[in-house]
Structure 1
Amino acid sequence: MIHKLFTFPIDIVVNIGKKVKEEVDKEFYDLEHIQRKLIHLQMMYELEEIDEDTYKASEIELLSRYEIAKRREMEQVQELTREKEEK
């Protein structure tokens, strides 16, 4: 009982950290989210809300994140396939 009393605050911090990581991963590596951001970026450029330099820099960043997200997705698929083959 006393052990739980002392570890409870640590458990809360750990769980909050996990949730924050999940949200950050979603923000930076969710394929659909990145696609929406690319579309929004294109619209802003076409409506002349941002200049070409800003557009290109943001596009490069988003495409880089998209590539990483796609690679992560492929690695997850390969891992699942490998696990099924082992069973």
Structure 2
Amino acid sequence: MIHKLFTAPVNLVVKVGEKIKEEADKELYDIPTIQQKLIQLQMMYELGEVDEQAYKVQEEQLLERYETAKMLEMQEYNEMLNQGK
């Protein structure tokens, strides 16, 4: 009983941390969000709000996130297929 009293706050912090990481990963690797950010970046570049160097850096970062998101999506799909067997 005493053990639970001392570990409960730690367990709660761990669960909150896991949820924050899950939400951050969802935002970071959400394909529609990345696509929208790429469109916004392109528009900002075309309107002259972002210079070419900043555009290239941000575009590269977004494309890397997109590639990772697609890879994660494929892994999830393959896992679902394998579970169905």
Give the structure-2-normalised TM-score. Answer: 0.93
Instruction: Output the amino acid matched with 2:40.
Output: H
Query: Where does the alignment leave 5 or more consecutive residues of structure 1 unmatched?
Result: none
Give the structure-1-normalised TM-score. Answer: 0.91
The superposition leaves residues 58-80 of structure 1 with CA deviations (integer Å, 9 ceiling, x where unpaired) of 00110011001001100110010
Match of 2:72 in 1: 72
Which aligned runs of 4 or more in structure 1 are off by greater than 3 angstroms? none
Output the CA distance in 2 between the equivalents of 1:32 and 1:18: 23
Output the CA distance in 2 between the equivalents of 1:38 and 1:13: 35
Q: Percent identity?
A: 56
Query: Where does the alignment leave 5 or more consecutive residues of structure 2 unmatched?
Result: none
Number of residue equivalences? 85
